[in-house]
Structure 1
Amino acid sequence: MEQVPWLTEREERVWRLFAAVLVLVPDEVEGQLQRDAELTHFGYWVLSALSEAPARAMRMSELAEMANGSRSRLSHLVAGMERRGWVRRERSTDDGRGSIAVLTDAGYAKVVAAAPGHVGAVRSLVFDALSPQGLDHLEAACTELLAKIAPKRPRTPRLARRAEDT
């Protein structure tokens, strides 16, 4: 069995800082969304992805992958969103087997109403703390990490456009 080398002191320090950010920022964003919009971050991500998709519709399997959730988690979420009138499911016209999630006008209004608070929280938690150079470094680091972790995973339309620009 191959021995894995220990992290250097600097790598361990950076890892612990990064891990703290990975926990604390999503917790704060989740709290803001639940308080102000009665949405989870996963729910906001799904509504947002649908709002950016052509015809505000996406195959459920693709949406689950794009939103970084399992198909069963997405199905449960969409069932609740259907009850609220934010999303409806339709059969795929391509093969008749798959399901398509379609954002309704009420769902679009929900994500539009939630966006200012969400953007404000993200700006306050992340961007207000970074210099322009820090933002460049964060973008480069995230791009490199995603290329390694999930090179073929579908991206939201905005992320996909940005990746094509680079």
Structure 2
Amino acid sequence: MHPTVFQQVLRAPFFNLPDSLRALHGIRGRGVWAGRATIERGRNPLAWLCAVATRLPPTMHDVPVRIEFVADGKREIWHRDFAGRKMVSRLYCRDGLLCERLGLVQFRFALHAWDGTIFWNVERVRLLGVLPLPARLFSGVQCREREHEGRYQFLVEARLPLIGQLVRYEGWLEPA
């Protein structure tokens, strides 16, 4: 059986993660998880433009979230639904990094597992898949995944220089 995208990126540390993280990132085929989330978008007009380019959801508090995962070992597609607002990303492994295509932007993340938590750190960024952007501009883009009280929990924050906060969203998921 071919390893999942997250098994390819994290390698051996993947198998020491808490149950909920291994279950979510071990999906093969189709899986659906659901929970609750809060989203806060930045107010700067440039933040709005960046949010539109990456298809980020608007500000919403304590709303239902549902994610359908479609995974085949080479790639994963995440169909997120935040109270009816859709956000899709495509993920795959390249050169030991997690690549995520989100709207017009492609990120490459180094993933680190420590104390039962996965941390995502930006290594490279491309606009339209071809135009490289300075990764240091995206040092304020971070993600943390962990297990809390038996549930998968996520926190995503994106801040850019001169623009400030693009988005911050957090919440929890469990198998639907």
Q: Structures share a fold, TM > 0.5?
A: no
Q: Which has the larger radius of gyration?
A: 1
What's the TM-score once normalised by structure 2's chain length? Answer: 0.24
Higher helix share: 1
More strand by share: 2
TM-score normalised per structure 1: 0.25
